[in-house]
Amino acid sequence: MAARLTLQDVNLRFGGVTVLHDVGFTVEPGEILGLVGPNGAGKTSLFNCISGHYRPTAGTITIDDSVVSGLAPSRLAAHGLARTFQHPALQLHATVLENVLLGAHTRLPGGPAAWALRLPPTGRRERELRAEALELLESQGLGWAAGLAADELSHGLHKSIELCRALLMRPALLLLDEPAAGLSHGEVEHFIETVKGLRDEADVTVVIVEHHMGLISAVTDRVVVLDHGSKLMEGTAAEAQADPRVIEAYIGKDAADDAA
């Protein structure tokens, strides 16, 4: 079931440097939200706070009714959060299928002892999850690559493998960090169709950090624009692209004045 994500007055400081300042917004269950802004705006830092890789200096992050600020990524998985990365974090010498199956750890019964002993319930569940992982790979056109080592595939296909791994977790909240970076035009079009299908087929809330405004316009319900660690505005992608403040943040005040 899709989750609600709420951020309230999130701050992040490293020493005397303020990276995020009083950032707040809500993503409703089943919504697809884009997190955009110029380089250095704080997008990835905010993603790292949501996913537990950074601990906010102040403020609250809530998934549904649970405050999750500062929880480790492993504990956030129990709240239904999954994430992809700008540079896919794969085991390059493992097979494509083995990489996808790493997303199944939250869905296996028992614990490490049961997994090591391969007790019957664990074995049955492993077979079910393997079949599900293969279905996900087929849905991405990667069934043919299941037995290949991940390092035999291109960067664009690595992105698809990581997405399959995240989806195998059956997330309620999915964070996608620059999923179009390095993809060809055709791969971007395929990814747009995949994200659109998530709402109908996977019942998941999606937050996307992305510079590819064509993708953002095609898939998001709303966007939140960050600039210098603060929220600049939120609205539709079309509203953001027409907002003078956003234009100035991206191209600079002088250029914005010249374009006006």
pLDDT tens for 37-95 read 998 899 999 999 999 999 999 999 999 999 999 899 888 988 999 999 888 888 888 99
Q: What's the pLDDT score for residue 259? A: 43
pLDDT at 4 over 60: yes
- Which strand (E) or helix (H) includes residue 45? helix 43-50
Q: What's the pLDDT score for residue 18? A: 94
pTM score? 0.88
- What is the average pLDDT value for the chain, to the nearest integer? 87
Residue 51 structure tokens: 């996913």
For the chain, how many residues are written? Answer: 260
Q: What's the pLDDT score for residue 118? A: 60
Q: What's the pLDDT score for residue 116? A: 53
pLDDT in tens, 152-192: 998 888 989 999 999 999 999 999 998 888 788 888 888 88
Percent of the chain, pLDDT > 90? 58
Residue with tokens 């269950």: 29
Bridge-based pairing state of the strands 173-177 and 81-83: parallel
Cα distances from 120 to residues 108, 110, 117, in angstroms, run 12, 11, 9
Residue spans in the chain of domains classed CATH 3.40.50.300: 1-80+171-260
User: String of b and e for 107-139 (b: at least 16 CB within 10 Å)?
Assistant: ebeeeeebbeeeeeebeebbeebbebbbebbeb
Binning the chain into helix, strand and coil, the percentages to the nearest 5 are 45, 25, 30
pLDDT in tens, 189-225: 888 888 888 877 778 999 999 888 888 999 999 999 9
Instruction: Kindly indicate the confidence band of residue 36, based on its pLDDT and cuts at 50, 70 and 90.
Output: very high
Task: Tell me how many degrees the CA angle 58-62-68 measures, rounded to the nearest 5.
Answer: 70
Q: What's the pLDDT score for residue 255? A: 41
Least confident interval from 24-33, 124-133, 192-201, 228-237:
192-201
Burial degree of 60 (CB within 10 A; 0-12, 13-18, 19+):
middle
Q: What's the pLDDT score for residue 252? A: 65
pLDDT at 112 over 60: no
Q: What's the pLDDT score for residue 108? A: 66
Cα distances from 61 to residues 30, 118, 175, 209, 229, in angstroms, run 18, 37, 14, 17, 16
Q: Which of residues 30 and 156 earns the better pLDDT score?
A: 30
pLDDT at 240 over 80: yes
Q: What's the pLDDT score for residue 30? A: 92
Question: Which CATH number is 1-80+171-260 given?
Answer: 3.40.50.300
Average pLDDT over residues 88-111: 82
DSSP letter assigned to residue 149: B
Cα distances from 255 to residues 241, 243, 245, 251, in angstroms, run 15, 14, 12, 6
